[in-house]
Structure 1
């Protein structure tokens, strides 16, 4: 967990307040542990590397991790943090550029608009995931409504993932105010 602590400290030093919360980190570590040797984990929105650190801590030997951050300063800081870890690569660029490093066994769509919302575009599971691959999408407010609602309106972004024809998906509450959607690509 030294890597998670180092990434959390880096985020504090950089005054970056949008890092993965601990509950989400534990989930990422658990999901990374299910990726087979030779597999690939992708992450959009590296930030200062907190989520990537959780993924790295959970990934078995022989798993490659690739993350992308659009902010050059944060990307450089995260690259320095993971320097020396030959299985981890941090790129600078738009979230869409991550696709060339897939398809993924596990894909974490992190940060606002990084492949998970209508205004930024969606990562298409059939193009980004291997058959049986898993996508985890964070930063949802828990809901028990169907269709899911946010701020009194139908939450079309969440509904798209939960009702996607290429996924078996569900919402999981991680905290009273935090939920994620997890989906597995159908064969």
Structure 2
């Protein structure tokens, strides 16, 4: 297999894909369950393949800002993206949990019915009643509490920076959530399987 193939000019070798999967799992956990450390890495196990593909392209194109991932995606050829996404979806790691249980009731209510007075729709409208997402809408079930908290808190700085970024729809929702509400939603979705 030539190096040109791994750069996207032909089929990608199974060995190249397996090597890249191993590389991804160094940070995202051996089962794709995510990792809480100095940098919290999201759970990729069971994630929607189209969502993963879209996010990798967003990092490559600078539509999603994260210096670690923007560096990592330079080593991912176009031909690797779909097989990586499909593999990650096949993983079924148990939820990491770790969120405060006292806020999960409020989180469930926000997830299921939203906060109409604050112009916050139910999360379930887009992410599905079981929080597993669909196509380009991410799975939230089992996502790390700390990652969801960080993502919602920093959404406007890290995502939706350009008009063509479909994740920008979340920016006003995230801005309208209080820190306690963000914690509650994160606690609820992190407990789901």
Q: How high is the TM-score relative to the length of structure 1? A: 0.26
The structure with the greater share of residues assigned to strand is 1
Q: Which has the larger radius of gyration?
A: 2
The structure with the greater share of residues assigned to helix is 2
Using CA pairs below 8 Å that are at least 6 residues apart, which structure has the higher relative contact order? 2
